[in-house]
Structure 1
Amino acid sequence: MGTAKAWLVVNARSGSNSAAARDALERSLAAHGLTPERTIEFPDEDLPTAASLREAGVARLIVFTGDGSLNAAIKAVAGWDGELLVLPGGTMNLLSARLHGAETGYEEILDCIHRGAYRPVRPVMACCDAGCAHAGLLVGPGTAWAEVREAMRDFDIPGLARGTGEALAEMTGGARVRMVDPLIGHEDGYPLLELTPSHRGLQVEGYRPEGPGDFLQQGWAMLRRRFREGPHERLGLYDRLVIENCAGEPLELLLDGEPARLGSKAEFSVEECPVDLLATAHGF
Protein backbone atom coordinates (compact mmCIF):
# COMPACT_ATOMS: atom_id res chain seq x y z
CA MET A 1 0.00 0.00 0.00
CA GLY A 2 2.87 2.35 -0.76
CA THR A 3 0.54 4.72 -2.69
CA ALA A 4 -2.44 4.35 -0.37
CA LYS A 5 -4.45 7.51 0.27
CA ALA A 6 -3.23 8.79 3.63
CA TRP A 7 -4.00 11.39 6.28
CA LEU A 8 -1.53 12.63 8.88
CA VAL A 9 -2.25 13.49 12.54
CA VAL A 10 0.19 15.74 14.44
CA ASN A 11 0.18 17.48 17.82
CA ALA A 12 2.22 20.63 18.39
CA ARG A 13 2.40 19.89 22.14
CA SER A 14 4.03 16.50 21.66
CA GLY A 15 7.74 16.15 22.36
CA SER A 16 9.03 15.80 18.78
CA ASN A 17 6.53 18.11 17.05
CA SER A 18 8.63 21.25 16.62
CA ALA A 19 8.21 23.20 13.38
CA ALA A 20 11.61 21.98 12.16
CA ALA A 21 10.75 18.37 13.00
CA ARG A 22 7.43 18.66 11.20
CA ASP A 23 9.10 20.10 8.09
CA ALA A 24 11.66 17.29 8.12
CA LEU A 25 8.91 14.68 8.47
CA GLU A 26 6.96 16.10 5.54
CA ARG A 27 10.07 16.00 3.36
CA SER A 28 10.74 12.41 4.39
CA LEU A 29 7.16 11.36 3.68
CA ALA A 30 7.39 12.90 0.21
CA ALA A 31 10.74 11.23 -0.47
CA HIS A 32 9.21 7.85 0.35
CA GLY A 33 6.13 8.40 -1.76
CA LEU A 34 3.90 8.68 1.32
CA THR A 35 2.74 12.31 1.16
CA PRO A 36 -0.55 12.65 3.08
CA GLU A 37 -3.54 14.25 1.41
CA ARG A 38 -4.53 16.03 4.61
CA THR A 39 -2.85 16.98 7.92
CA ILE A 40 -4.94 17.14 11.09
CA GLU A 41 -3.66 19.44 13.85
CA PHE A 42 -4.80 17.76 17.07
CA PRO A 43 -6.17 18.99 19.48
CA ASP A 44 -7.10 22.16 17.57
CA GLU A 45 -8.91 19.92 15.07
CA ASP A 46 -11.00 16.88 15.87
CA LEU A 47 -9.44 13.46 15.36
CA PRO A 48 -10.71 11.48 12.37
CA THR A 49 -13.21 8.70 13.02
CA ALA A 50 -13.69 5.35 11.34
CA ALA A 51 -16.72 6.82 9.53
CA SER A 52 -14.89 9.94 8.30
CA LEU A 53 -11.94 7.89 7.04
CA ARG A 54 -14.22 5.48 5.17
CA GLU A 55 -16.19 8.35 3.65
CA ALA A 56 -12.98 10.03 2.43
CA GLY A 57 -11.55 6.78 1.07
CA VAL A 58 -8.50 6.95 3.35
CA ALA A 59 -6.57 3.67 3.59
CA ARG A 60 -3.77 4.73 5.94
CA LEU A 61 -3.66 7.06 8.92
CA ILE A 62 -0.17 8.28 9.90
CA VAL A 63 0.10 9.47 13.51
CA PHE A 64 3.09 11.60 14.58
CA THR A 65 2.31 12.38 18.24
CA GLY A 66 3.07 11.27 21.78
CA ASP A 67 1.54 8.18 23.37
CA GLY A 68 -1.43 9.99 24.92
CA SER A 69 -2.62 11.57 21.64
CA LEU A 70 -1.90 8.30 19.86
CA ASN A 71 -4.14 6.48 22.32
CA ALA A 72 -6.95 8.93 21.56
CA ALA A 73 -6.44 8.52 17.79
CA ILE A 74 -6.65 4.73 17.98
CA LYS A 75 -9.81 4.94 20.08
CA ALA A 76 -11.38 7.36 17.57
CA VAL A 77 -10.85 5.02 14.59
CA ALA A 78 -11.79 1.77 16.35
CA GLY A 79 -13.42 -0.63 13.90
CA TRP A 80 -11.90 1.02 10.83
CA ASP A 81 -10.68 -1.41 8.14
CA GLY A 82 -7.64 0.67 7.18
CA GLU A 83 -4.16 0.70 8.71
CA LEU A 84 -2.56 3.05 11.22
CA LEU A 85 1.13 3.92 11.02
CA VAL A 86 2.67 4.99 14.33
CA LEU A 87 5.67 7.34 14.09
CA PRO A 88 7.75 8.55 17.08
CA GLY A 89 6.40 12.08 17.56
CA GLY A 90 6.44 12.39 21.35
CA THR A 91 8.91 12.30 24.21
CA MET A 92 9.07 8.61 25.08
CA ASN A 93 7.26 7.00 22.10
CA LEU A 94 6.62 3.77 23.95
CA LEU A 95 4.14 2.31 21.44
CA SER A 96 6.43 3.20 18.54
CA ALA A 97 9.24 1.35 20.33
CA ARG A 98 6.95 -1.64 20.76
CA LEU A 99 6.09 -1.71 17.05
CA HIS A 100 9.37 -0.64 15.46
CA GLY A 101 12.14 -0.97 18.04
CA ALA A 102 13.30 1.37 20.78
CA GLU A 103 16.01 3.15 18.79
CA THR A 104 14.21 3.29 15.43
CA GLY A 105 13.57 6.77 14.01
CA TYR A 106 10.88 7.63 11.51
CA GLU A 107 13.30 7.66 8.54
CA GLU A 108 14.03 3.96 9.03
CA ILE A 109 10.35 3.21 9.66
CA LEU A 110 9.28 5.01 6.47
CA ASP A 111 11.95 3.19 4.50
CA CYS A 112 10.48 -0.13 5.69
CA ILE A 113 6.96 0.99 4.77
CA HIS A 114 8.11 2.13 1.32
CA ARG A 115 9.76 -1.26 0.70
CA GLY A 116 6.80 -3.22 2.02
CA ALA A 117 8.88 -4.55 4.95
CA TYR A 118 6.07 -4.44 7.50
CA ARG A 119 3.00 -6.32 8.63
CA PRO A 120 -0.35 -5.30 10.16
CA VAL A 121 -0.73 -6.37 13.79
CA ARG A 122 -3.27 -5.99 16.58
CA PRO A 123 -1.22 -6.01 19.79
CA VAL A 124 -2.98 -6.45 23.12
CA MET A 125 -3.83 -3.49 25.32
CA ALA A 126 -4.07 -3.10 29.10
CA CYS A 127 -7.74 -2.35 29.73
CA CYS A 128 -10.09 -1.34 32.54
CA ASP A 129 -13.38 0.54 32.85
CA ALA A 130 -11.54 3.86 32.48
CA GLY A 131 -10.07 2.94 29.09
CA CYS A 132 -7.20 1.08 27.46
CA ALA A 133 -3.44 1.65 27.33
CA HIS A 134 -1.21 0.56 24.45
CA ALA A 135 2.14 1.44 26.02
CA GLY A 136 1.52 1.23 29.77
CA LEU A 137 -0.96 1.70 32.60
CA LEU A 138 0.02 3.06 36.04
CA VAL A 139 -2.03 2.73 39.22
CA GLY A 140 -1.49 4.40 42.60
CA PRO A 141 -0.61 7.70 44.30
CA GLY A 142 2.71 7.77 42.43
CA THR A 143 0.78 8.89 39.33
CA ALA A 144 0.84 12.40 40.86
CA TRP A 145 4.22 12.85 39.16
CA ALA A 146 2.38 13.28 35.85
CA GLU A 147 1.42 16.85 36.83
CA VAL A 148 5.07 17.63 37.54
CA ARG A 149 6.01 16.36 34.10
CA GLU A 150 3.37 18.61 32.52
CA ALA A 151 4.78 21.61 34.40
CA MET A 152 8.26 20.75 33.10
CA ARG A 153 6.96 20.56 29.54
CA ASP A 154 5.24 23.95 29.89
CA PHE A 155 8.27 25.55 31.64
CA ASP A 156 5.95 26.36 34.55
CA ILE A 157 8.50 26.92 37.34
CA PRO A 158 5.99 27.71 40.15
CA GLY A 159 3.90 24.70 39.09
CA LEU A 160 7.01 22.54 38.99
CA ALA A 161 8.00 23.47 42.54
CA ARG A 162 4.48 23.08 43.91
CA GLY A 163 3.87 19.83 42.02
CA THR A 164 7.12 18.24 43.13
CA GLY A 165 6.26 18.77 46.79
CA GLU A 166 2.73 17.44 46.29
CA ALA A 167 3.94 14.41 44.32
CA LEU A 168 6.49 13.51 46.99
CA ALA A 169 3.80 13.86 49.66
CA GLU A 170 1.43 11.61 47.71
CA MET A 171 4.09 9.00 47.06
CA THR A 172 5.25 8.90 50.69
CA GLY A 173 1.90 9.35 52.45
CA GLY A 174 -0.82 8.56 49.93
CA ALA A 175 -2.98 5.43 50.24
CA ARG A 176 -1.11 2.55 48.60
CA VAL A 177 -2.53 0.03 46.14
CA ARG A 178 -2.20 -3.77 46.04
CA MET A 179 -3.09 -6.79 43.95
CA VAL A 180 -5.89 -8.86 45.49
CA ASP A 181 -6.75 -11.29 42.69
CA PRO A 182 -4.39 -13.00 42.43
CA LEU A 183 -3.11 -12.18 45.91
CA ILE A 184 0.51 -11.30 45.05
CA GLY A 185 3.01 -8.88 46.54
CA HIS A 186 3.17 -6.88 49.76
CA GLU A 187 -0.04 -6.84 51.80
CA ASP A 188 0.40 -3.16 52.68
CA GLY A 189 0.70 -2.29 49.00
CA TYR A 190 2.76 -0.07 46.73
CA PRO A 191 2.80 3.63 45.87
CA LEU A 192 2.73 2.56 42.22
CA LEU A 193 1.88 -0.50 40.14
CA GLU A 194 2.80 -0.57 36.45
CA LEU A 195 0.94 -2.78 33.96
CA THR A 196 2.70 -3.22 30.62
CA PRO A 197 0.83 -5.05 27.83
CA SER A 198 2.69 -7.64 25.75
CA HIS A 199 1.85 -10.73 23.71
CA ARG A 200 2.45 -12.72 26.92
CA GLY A 201 -0.12 -10.75 28.95
CA LEU A 202 0.17 -7.89 31.45
CA GLN A 203 3.60 -7.58 32.99
CA VAL A 204 3.12 -6.17 36.49
CA GLU A 205 5.85 -4.25 38.34
CA GLY A 206 5.54 -2.94 41.88
CA TYR A 207 7.40 0.21 42.91
CA ARG A 208 8.09 0.36 46.63
CA PRO A 209 10.68 2.97 47.60
CA GLU A 210 11.48 2.88 51.33
CA GLY A 211 13.82 5.74 52.29
CA PRO A 212 14.10 9.39 51.17
CA GLY A 213 16.77 8.53 48.62
CA ASP A 214 14.57 5.83 47.08
CA PHE A 215 11.63 8.23 46.79
CA LEU A 216 13.75 10.87 45.05
CA GLN A 217 15.22 8.25 42.73
CA GLN A 218 11.75 6.98 41.86
CA GLY A 219 10.43 10.50 41.34
CA TRP A 220 13.25 11.32 38.93
CA ALA A 221 12.58 8.08 37.06
CA MET A 222 8.87 8.97 36.87
CA LEU A 223 9.58 12.40 35.43
CA ARG A 224 11.54 10.80 32.60
CA ARG A 225 8.98 7.98 32.23
CA ARG A 226 11.78 5.51 32.89
CA PHE A 227 9.98 3.90 35.77
CA ARG A 228 12.15 0.82 36.01
CA GLU A 229 15.21 2.87 36.86
CA GLY A 230 13.61 3.29 40.30
CA PRO A 231 13.41 0.60 43.02
CA HIS A 232 10.88 -2.03 41.93
CA GLU A 233 10.01 -5.73 41.86
CA ARG A 234 8.43 -7.90 39.19
CA LEU A 235 5.08 -9.35 40.27
CA GLY A 236 4.35 -11.55 37.26
CA LEU A 237 2.43 -11.91 33.98
CA TYR A 238 -1.38 -12.04 33.97
CA ASP A 239 -4.31 -11.92 31.55
CA ARG A 240 -6.53 -10.57 34.32
CA LEU A 241 -5.99 -9.09 37.79
CA VAL A 242 -7.79 -7.02 40.41
CA ILE A 243 -6.21 -4.05 42.20
CA GLU A 244 -7.60 -2.22 45.22
CA ASN A 245 -6.76 0.90 47.18
CA CYS A 246 -5.62 -0.15 50.66
CA ALA A 247 -7.65 2.67 52.29
CA GLY A 248 -10.78 2.26 50.17
CA GLU A 249 -10.10 5.50 48.26
CA PRO A 250 -10.45 5.90 44.46
CA LEU A 251 -7.71 4.43 42.27
CA GLU A 252 -5.64 7.07 40.46
CA LEU A 253 -4.49 5.96 36.99
CA LEU A 254 -2.36 7.02 34.06
CA LEU A 255 -3.42 5.48 30.72
CA ASP A 256 -0.54 6.03 28.29
CA GLY A 257 0.32 9.10 30.36
CA GLU A 258 -3.23 10.50 30.57
CA PRO A 259 -4.89 10.71 34.03
CA ALA A 260 -8.04 8.77 34.93
CA ARG A 261 -9.79 7.54 38.07
CA LEU A 262 -11.72 4.42 39.10
CA GLY A 263 -13.45 3.19 42.25
CA SER A 264 -11.52 1.70 45.13
CA LYS A 265 -11.28 -1.73 43.46
CA ALA A 266 -11.03 -2.49 39.75
CA GLU A 267 -10.34 -5.28 37.29
CA PHE A 268 -7.65 -5.02 34.62
CA SER A 269 -7.36 -7.30 31.60
CA VAL A 270 -5.99 -7.62 28.08
CA GLU A 271 -7.90 -6.85 24.89
CA GLU A 272 -6.88 -6.79 21.23
CA CYS A 273 -6.22 -3.42 19.58
CA PRO A 274 -9.36 -2.37 17.63
CA VAL A 275 -7.48 -1.39 14.45
CA ASP A 276 -4.53 -2.68 12.42
CA LEU A 277 -1.18 -1.08 13.38
CA LEU A 278 1.82 -1.40 11.09
CA ALA A 279 4.85 -3.08 12.68
CA THR A 280 8.38 -3.24 11.32
CA ALA A 281 10.24 -4.73 14.29
CA HIS A 282 11.40 -8.35 14.32
CA GLY A 283 9.39 -8.97 17.51
CA PHE A 284 6.25 -9.02 15.39
Structure 2
Amino acid sequence: MMTEPRPLWLVNNASSGSNDDDGLEALHRCCGTHGFRVAQRTTFPAEDLPTPAVLDAAGIDLVAVFAGDGTINTLVTSLAGWGGQVLVLPGGTMNLLFHRLHGEAEMDAVIERVAAGDYSCRRPGMARSPAGDAFAGVLAGPGTSWNQVREAMRDIAVLDVATGVAAALGETVSGDMIACTDPALGRPEGYPLLMLTPTDEGLQVDAYHAEGVGEYLQQGWALMRRNFRDGPHDRLGMVDQVTFASVAGTAFGMLIDGEPSDPAPQATFSLARAEVDLIATAT
Protein backbone atom coordinates (compact mmCIF):
# COMPACT_ATOMS: atom_id res chain seq x y z
CA MET A 1 0.00 0.00 0.00
CA MET A 2 1.48 3.34 -1.06
CA THR A 3 2.09 5.91 1.66
CA GLU A 4 1.76 9.63 1.10
CA PRO A 5 5.08 11.52 0.90
CA ARG A 6 5.91 13.36 4.11
CA PRO A 7 5.67 17.12 3.51
CA LEU A 8 8.54 19.34 4.58
CA TRP A 9 9.31 23.04 4.46
CA LEU A 10 12.69 23.71 2.85
CA VAL A 11 14.82 26.73 3.81
CA ASN A 12 17.83 27.61 1.69
CA ASN A 13 20.20 30.54 1.27
CA ALA A 14 21.22 31.37 -2.30
CA SER A 15 24.58 32.81 -1.15
CA SER A 16 25.61 29.72 0.84
CA GLY A 17 28.29 27.35 -0.38
CA SER A 18 26.23 24.64 -2.12
CA ASN A 19 23.03 26.50 -2.95
CA ASP A 20 23.33 26.70 -6.71
CA ASP A 21 20.56 25.47 -9.00
CA ASP A 22 22.20 22.08 -9.49
CA GLY A 23 22.51 21.54 -5.73
CA LEU A 24 18.87 22.44 -5.12
CA GLU A 25 17.69 20.24 -7.98
CA ALA A 26 19.67 17.30 -6.58
CA LEU A 27 18.15 17.91 -3.14
CA HIS A 28 14.59 17.98 -4.52
CA ARG A 29 15.27 14.79 -6.44
CA CYS A 30 16.72 13.06 -3.38
CA CYS A 31 13.73 14.07 -1.24
CA GLY A 32 11.30 12.72 -3.83
CA THR A 33 13.20 9.45 -4.11
CA HIS A 34 13.00 8.86 -0.37
CA GLY A 35 9.37 9.74 0.29
CA PHE A 36 9.51 13.45 1.10
CA ARG A 37 7.62 16.24 -0.61
CA VAL A 38 8.92 19.81 -0.59
CA ALA A 39 5.60 21.47 0.18
CA GLN A 40 6.98 24.97 0.73
CA ARG A 41 10.33 26.63 0.20
CA THR A 42 11.83 29.79 1.68
CA THR A 43 14.91 31.44 0.20
CA PHE A 44 16.50 33.35 3.07
CA PRO A 45 17.18 36.25 3.58
CA ALA A 46 15.14 37.42 0.57
CA GLU A 47 12.06 35.85 2.19
CA ASP A 48 10.98 35.68 5.82
CA LEU A 49 11.62 32.45 7.68
CA PRO A 50 8.56 30.34 8.55
CA THR A 51 7.35 30.84 12.11
CA PRO A 52 6.03 28.08 14.37
CA ALA A 53 2.50 29.41 13.84
CA VAL A 54 2.86 29.37 10.05
CA LEU A 55 4.28 25.82 10.09
CA ASP A 56 1.51 24.55 12.34
CA ALA A 57 -1.17 26.18 10.19
CA ALA A 58 0.33 24.47 7.12
CA GLY A 59 0.29 21.10 8.87
CA ILE A 60 4.07 20.72 8.53
CA ASP A 61 6.15 19.20 11.32
CA LEU A 62 9.51 18.98 9.50
CA VAL A 63 11.76 21.82 8.33
CA ALA A 64 14.86 21.02 6.28
CA VAL A 65 17.52 23.73 6.12
CA PHE A 66 20.02 23.62 3.26
CA ALA A 67 22.35 26.51 4.10
CA GLY A 68 25.44 27.56 6.02
CA ASP A 69 25.86 27.66 9.77
CA GLY A 70 24.79 31.32 10.01
CA THR A 71 21.41 30.75 8.35
CA ILE A 72 20.93 27.53 10.32
CA ASN A 73 21.57 29.49 13.51
CA THR A 74 18.93 32.08 12.61
CA LEU A 75 16.36 29.43 11.75
CA VAL A 76 16.91 27.21 14.80
CA THR A 77 16.82 30.24 17.10
CA SER A 78 13.58 31.48 15.52
CA LEU A 79 11.92 28.08 16.02
CA ALA A 80 12.63 27.87 19.77
CA GLY A 81 9.70 26.17 21.48
CA TRP A 82 8.24 24.69 18.28
CA GLY A 83 6.98 21.10 18.49
CA GLY A 84 8.31 19.92 15.11
CA GLN A 85 11.71 18.73 13.93
CA VAL A 86 14.57 20.41 12.05
CA LEU A 87 16.76 18.53 9.58
CA VAL A 88 20.12 20.25 9.04
CA LEU A 89 21.64 19.61 5.59
CA PRO A 90 25.13 20.56 4.30
CA GLY A 91 24.39 23.65 2.25
CA GLY A 92 27.30 25.81 3.41
CA THR A 93 31.08 25.88 3.38
CA MET A 94 32.08 24.20 6.63
CA ASN A 95 28.72 22.65 7.67
CA LEU A 96 29.91 22.31 11.27
CA LEU A 97 26.49 21.70 12.84
CA PHE A 98 25.65 19.17 10.11
CA HIS A 99 28.76 17.17 11.04
CA ARG A 100 27.89 17.37 14.75
CA LEU A 101 24.54 15.77 13.99
CA HIS A 102 25.41 13.40 11.14
CA GLY A 103 29.14 12.72 11.30
CA GLU A 104 30.81 12.36 7.90
CA ALA A 105 27.73 10.97 6.11
CA GLU A 106 26.75 12.33 2.70
CA MET A 107 23.50 14.27 2.36
CA ASP A 108 21.74 11.55 0.36
CA ALA A 109 22.56 8.94 3.01
CA VAL A 110 21.23 11.21 5.77
CA ILE A 111 17.93 11.79 3.97
CA GLU A 112 17.58 8.06 3.31
CA ARG A 113 18.13 7.24 6.99
CA VAL A 114 15.62 9.85 8.12
CA ALA A 115 13.05 8.48 5.67
CA ALA A 116 13.59 5.01 7.16
CA GLY A 117 13.09 6.34 10.69
CA ASP A 118 16.71 5.59 11.56
CA TYR A 119 17.41 8.76 13.54
CA SER A 120 17.06 10.39 16.93
CA CYS A 121 16.03 13.87 18.03
CA ARG A 122 18.63 15.86 19.91
CA ARG A 123 18.91 19.22 21.58
CA PRO A 124 22.67 19.70 21.33
CA GLY A 125 24.73 21.94 23.54
CA MET A 126 25.28 25.50 22.40
CA ALA A 127 27.18 28.57 23.60
CA ARG A 128 24.75 31.23 24.86
CA SER A 129 25.69 34.88 25.21
CA PRO A 130 24.01 38.31 25.11
CA ALA A 131 25.45 38.64 21.58
CA GLY A 132 23.67 35.48 20.42
CA ASP A 133 23.72 31.69 20.56
CA ALA A 134 26.34 29.58 18.76
CA PHE A 135 25.67 26.01 17.65
CA ALA A 136 28.82 25.61 15.53
CA GLY A 137 31.31 27.90 17.22
CA VAL A 138 32.57 31.35 18.17
CA LEU A 139 35.69 33.14 16.96
CA ALA A 140 36.75 36.23 18.89
CA GLY A 141 39.62 38.70 18.74
CA PRO A 142 41.47 40.88 16.21
CA GLY A 143 42.12 37.79 14.07
CA THR A 144 38.44 37.78 13.03
CA SER A 145 39.24 40.72 10.70
CA TRP A 146 40.32 38.07 8.16
CA ASN A 147 36.62 37.26 7.69
CA GLN A 148 36.25 40.44 5.63
CA VAL A 149 38.95 39.16 3.27
CA ARG A 150 37.13 35.86 2.94
CA GLU A 151 33.90 37.66 2.02
CA ALA A 152 35.74 39.72 -0.62
CA MET A 153 37.20 36.49 -2.03
CA ARG A 154 33.72 34.99 -2.26
CA ASP A 155 32.55 38.10 -4.16
CA ILE A 156 35.69 38.00 -6.36
CA ALA A 157 36.53 41.57 -5.36
CA VAL A 158 40.26 41.49 -6.14
CA LEU A 159 41.09 45.02 -5.01
CA ASP A 160 39.16 44.53 -1.78
CA VAL A 161 41.05 41.28 -1.17
CA ALA A 162 44.43 42.99 -1.53
CA THR A 163 43.40 45.91 0.67
CA GLY A 164 41.79 43.58 3.19
CA VAL A 165 44.85 41.34 3.55
CA ALA A 166 47.00 44.33 4.44
CA ALA A 167 44.42 45.62 6.93
CA ALA A 168 43.78 42.21 8.48
CA LEU A 169 47.48 41.49 8.86
CA GLY A 170 48.02 44.85 10.58
CA GLU A 171 45.02 44.31 12.87
CA THR A 172 46.12 40.79 13.81
CA VAL A 173 49.73 41.79 14.51
CA SER A 174 49.09 45.07 16.36
CA GLY A 175 45.49 44.78 17.58
CA ASP A 176 44.69 44.46 21.27
CA MET A 177 44.84 40.82 22.36
CA ILE A 178 42.01 39.05 24.19
CA ALA A 179 42.26 36.58 27.06
CA CYS A 180 40.12 34.10 28.99
CA THR A 181 39.58 35.91 32.27
CA ASP A 182 36.90 33.91 34.08
CA PRO A 183 38.07 31.27 34.54
CA ALA A 184 41.64 32.38 33.86
CA LEU A 185 42.93 30.10 31.10
CA GLY A 186 46.07 30.34 29.00
CA ARG A 187 48.32 33.36 28.64
CA PRO A 188 47.31 36.46 30.63
CA GLU A 189 48.73 38.65 27.85
CA GLY A 190 46.13 37.14 25.56
CA TYR A 191 45.87 35.94 21.98
CA PRO A 192 44.86 37.34 18.59
CA LEU A 193 42.12 34.73 18.28
CA LEU A 194 40.08 32.59 20.68
CA MET A 195 37.73 29.87 19.51
CA LEU A 196 34.82 28.42 21.44
CA THR A 197 33.33 25.12 20.27
CA PRO A 198 30.08 23.97 21.92
CA THR A 199 29.68 20.28 22.70
CA ASP A 200 27.05 18.40 24.67
CA GLU A 201 29.50 18.15 27.57
CA GLY A 202 30.77 21.74 27.68
CA LEU A 203 32.41 24.60 25.82
CA GLN A 204 35.83 23.77 24.38
CA VAL A 205 38.26 26.70 24.38
CA ASP A 206 41.16 26.94 21.93
CA ALA A 207 43.62 29.81 21.61
CA TYR A 208 45.26 30.59 18.28
CA HIS A 209 48.59 32.34 18.08
CA ALA A 210 51.38 33.02 15.62
CA GLU A 211 54.94 34.21 15.89
CA GLY A 212 56.08 36.46 13.05
CA VAL A 213 54.47 37.74 9.86
CA GLY A 214 54.79 34.41 8.03
CA GLU A 215 52.75 32.54 10.62
CA TYR A 216 50.20 35.36 10.78
CA LEU A 217 49.70 35.05 7.03
CA GLN A 218 49.43 31.28 7.39
CA GLN A 219 46.81 31.68 10.10
CA GLY A 220 44.95 34.31 8.09
CA TRP A 221 44.84 32.06 5.05
CA ALA A 222 43.46 29.26 7.22
CA LEU A 223 40.77 31.62 8.50
CA MET A 224 39.78 32.70 5.01
CA ARG A 225 39.35 29.06 4.01
CA ARG A 226 37.55 28.48 7.31
CA ASN A 227 40.13 25.81 8.07
CA PHE A 228 41.15 27.82 11.12
CA ARG A 229 41.51 24.62 13.15
CA ASP A 230 44.66 23.92 11.10
CA GLY A 231 46.48 26.93 12.52
CA PRO A 232 48.90 26.92 15.48
CA HIS A 233 46.87 26.78 18.68
CA ASP A 234 46.68 25.68 22.31
CA ARG A 235 43.81 23.70 23.82
CA LEU A 236 42.88 25.66 26.96
CA GLY A 237 40.16 23.43 28.38
CA MET A 238 36.47 22.53 28.62
CA VAL A 239 34.20 24.77 30.70
CA ASP A 240 30.50 25.39 31.38
CA GLN A 241 30.98 29.16 31.26
CA VAL A 242 33.78 31.46 30.14
CA THR A 243 34.45 35.17 29.71
CA PHE A 244 36.62 36.56 26.93
CA ALA A 245 37.97 40.06 27.60
CA SER A 246 40.22 42.52 25.82
CA VAL A 247 43.51 42.92 27.68
CA ALA A 248 43.43 46.66 26.92
CA GLY A 249 39.70 47.07 27.57
CA THR A 250 38.89 47.84 23.93
CA ALA A 251 36.11 46.30 21.86
CA PHE A 252 36.98 43.24 19.78
CA GLY A 253 35.24 41.51 16.89
CA MET A 254 33.38 38.21 17.10
CA LEU A 255 32.00 35.71 14.62
CA ILE A 256 29.08 33.67 15.94
CA ASP A 257 28.48 30.66 13.69
CA GLY A 258 30.41 32.55 11.01
CA GLU A 259 28.38 35.76 11.22
CA PRO A 260 29.81 39.04 12.62
CA SER A 261 28.36 40.37 15.86
CA ASP A 262 28.73 43.81 17.42
CA PRO A 263 32.23 44.40 18.87
CA ALA A 264 32.46 44.50 22.66
CA PRO A 265 35.25 44.73 25.29
CA GLN A 266 34.16 41.42 26.83
CA ALA A 267 31.74 38.57 26.24
CA THR A 268 30.53 35.77 28.51
CA PHE A 269 29.37 32.45 27.11
CA SER A 270 27.58 29.66 28.97
CA LEU A 271 26.54 26.15 28.01
CA ALA A 272 22.85 25.85 27.08
CA ARG A 273 20.68 23.51 25.01
CA ALA A 274 18.97 23.98 21.67
CA GLU A 275 15.30 24.77 22.17
CA VAL A 276 13.88 22.77 19.26
CA ASP A 277 14.41 19.14 18.22
CA LEU A 278 17.21 18.62 15.70
CA ILE A 279 17.35 15.37 13.77
CA ALA A 280 20.58 13.38 14.26
CA THR A 281 21.68 10.25 12.39
CA ALA A 282 25.16 9.91 13.89
CA THR A 283 25.46 7.41 16.74
* TM-score tier after normalising by the smaller chain length: over 0.9
Contact 2:122 2:278 in 1 (8 A): yes
Give the corresponding residue for 1:29.
Answer: 31
Aligned residue identity for 1:205: D
Give the corresponding residue for 2:69.
Answer: 67
Give the corresponding residue for 1:106.
Answer: 107
- What is the TM-score when the length of structure 1 is the normalising length? 0.96
Q: Superposition pairs for residues 104-253 of structure 1, below 5 Å? A: 104-253=105-254
Give the corresponding residue for 1:8.
Answer: 10
In the alignment, the residues of structure 2 paired with residue 224 and residue 202 of structure 1 have an alpha-carbon distance, to the nearest angstrom, of 23
Query: Which residue, 44, 47, 54 being the options, matches 1:52?
Result: 54
Q: What SS does structure 1 have at the residue aligned with 2:165?
A: helix
Q: Which ranges of structure 2 fall in alignment gaps of 5 or more residues?
A: none
Deviation at residue 34 of structure 1 after TM alignment: 1.0
Deviation at residue 252 of structure 1 after TM alignment: 1.3
Contact 1:62 1:87 in 2 (8 A): yes
* Residues 28-60 of structure 1: per-residue CA shift (max 9 Å, x gap): 110011121011111111111122212222100
Q: What SS does structure 2 have at the residue aligned with 1:217?
A: helix
Contact 2:6 2:37 in 1 (8 A): no
In the alignment, the residues of structure 2 paired with residue 35 and residue 79 of structure 1 have an alpha-carbon distance, to the nearest angstrom, of 24
Contact 1:174 1:191 in 2 (8 A): yes
Q: What SS does structure 2 have at the residue aligned with 1:253?
A: strand
Give the corresponding residue for 2:40.
Answer: 38
Aligned pairs, number: 281
Contact 1:245 1:264 in 2 (8 A): yes
Aligned residue identity for 1:18: D
Contact 2:125 2:201 in 1 (8 A): no
1:82 aligns with 2:84: yes
In the alignment, the residues of structure 2 paired with residue 177 and residue 78 of structure 1 have an alpha-carbon distance, to the nearest angstrom, of 32
Contact 2:8 2:37 in 1 (8 A): yes
Cα gap change, 1:238/1:2 in structure 2, threshold over 3 Å: closer, same or farther?
farther
Aligned residue identity for 1:237: M
Give the corresponding residue for 1:91.
Answer: 93
* Residues 222-264 of structure 1: per-residue CA shift (max 9 Å, x gap): 1111112111000000000111111111131100000012531
Aligned residue identity for 2:99: A
Percent identity reads: 47
Aligned residue identity for 2:272: E
In the alignment, the residues of structure 2 paired with residue 74 and residue 208 of structure 1 have an alpha-carbon distance, to the nearest angstrom, of 32
- What is the TM-score when the length of structure 2 is the normalising length? 0.96
Contact 2:127 2:270 in 1 (8 A): yes
Q: What SS does structure 1 have at the residue aligned with 2:169?
A: helix
Deviation at residue 3 of structure 1 after TM alignment: 4.5
Deviation at residue 81 of structure 1 after TM alignment: 0.6
Deviation at residue 77 of structure 1 after TM alignment: 1.1
Q: What SS does structure 1 have at the residue aligned with 2:222?
A: helix
Q: What SS does structure 1 have at the residue aligned with 2:37?
A: coil
In the alignment, the residues of structure 1 paired with residue 5 and residue 81 of structure 2 have an alpha-carbon distance, to the nearest angstrom, of 22
Q: What SS does structure 2 have at the residue aligned with 1:170?
A: helix
Q: Which ranges of structure 1 fall in alignment gaps of 5 or more residues?
A: none
In the alignment, the residues of structure 2 paired with residue 154 and residue 146 of structure 1 have an alpha-carbon distance, to the nearest angstrom, of 13
What is the Cα-based RMSD across aligned positions, in Å?
Answer: 1.4
Ranges of 4+ aligned residues in structure 1 off by more than 6 Å:
none
Aligned residue identity for 1:279: A
